[in-house]
Chains A and B, each alone.
Chain A
Amino acid sequence: MLLASSSCNDWLDVNHDPNALEEIPDAKVLLPAAQVGIGNNLMGWDFGFGGAFWVEYWTQSYTASQFKSLTEYLPQEFNTAYQSLMREPMNDLKRIKTMSAEDENKGYYFVAEALSIFTWQIITDVWGDMPYFEALKVDEGILHPKQDTGAAIYEDLMLRINALLETDLSGSSISPESDFIFEGDLDQWYRFANSLKLKLMIRLSETPGYNNSSVLSFIQNADLLTTSAKISGSVWNDAMEGKRHPMREFQAGGANYFSTNVIAAKNFIDYLSVNDDPRLSKLFNGTKGAFYGDFDSKEDSDGNGINDANEAYATVIFSGNMDLMIMSDWEVNFYIAEVYARAAQNAQAKEFYDAGVIASLSQHGISDTSIIEDGGYAAWTNGTVEQNIKQIAMQKWVANANYQHIESFLERNRTKYPSVNDIDIEANRQFAFNNFPVGDLTISVKGRALLNGNLPASPLYPTSYLFRNNNAPSQKANVGEKVWWNMKIGK
Chain B
Amino acid sequence: MNSSELLLLFAERAESVGARVFTVPTMADAVVRILQSCMDKAPCERLLPELESATDSGPLSSNGVPVRTERVLAAPGLPGIIAAALQAGCKDAGVRLVTDNLREWISGVDVGVNVALAGIANSGTCVLDTLNEDVRLSGMICETGVVLLDPAMLVDSLAATAPLLRRLHAGPGYVSYITGPSRTADIERVPAVGVHGSLDLHVILLSGVSHA
Partners in one complex: no
Task: List residues of chain B with CB under 8 Å of any chain A CB.
Answer: none
